[in-house]
Amino acid sequence: MARTAILRKDLELVALQEIRSFPGGEHVVSVEIECGAEEDSDMGWRLA
């Protein structure tokens, strides 16, 4: 799988747009991406 670098703010915008596409998601006003400190995984990102 190819990896693409993306800024945190851009990732937050994409996540917000995706969440808003679901019923009830139009009420979500912001999301925050947090970087986990998991050393054994490349996927240490989570929504807050």
Q: Is residue 20 situated within a structural domain?
A: yes
Q: Is residue 37 situated within a structural domain?
A: yes
Q: How far apart are CA 33 and CA 12, in angstroms?
A: 6
Q: Is residue 30 situated within a structural domain?
A: yes
- Tell me what pLDDT residue 13 has: 95
- Tell me what pLDDT residue 25 has: 94
Q: Is residue 1 situated within a structural domain?
A: no
- Tell me what pLDDT residue 23 has: 96
Q: Which helix (H) or strand (E) holds 12?
A: helix 8-20
State how many domains the chain has: 1
Per-residue burial over 10-38, b if 16 or more Cβ lie within 10 Å, else e, is eebeebbeeeeeeeeeeeeeebebeeeee
Q: Which domain holds residue 23?
A: 8-47
Report how far Cα 39 is from the mean position of its chain's Cα atoms: 19
pLDDT tens, position by position, 1-48? 788 888 889 999 999 999 999 999 999 999 998 876 665 556 677 777
Q: Is residue 25 situated within a structural domain?
A: yes
- Tell me what pLDDT residue 26 has: 94
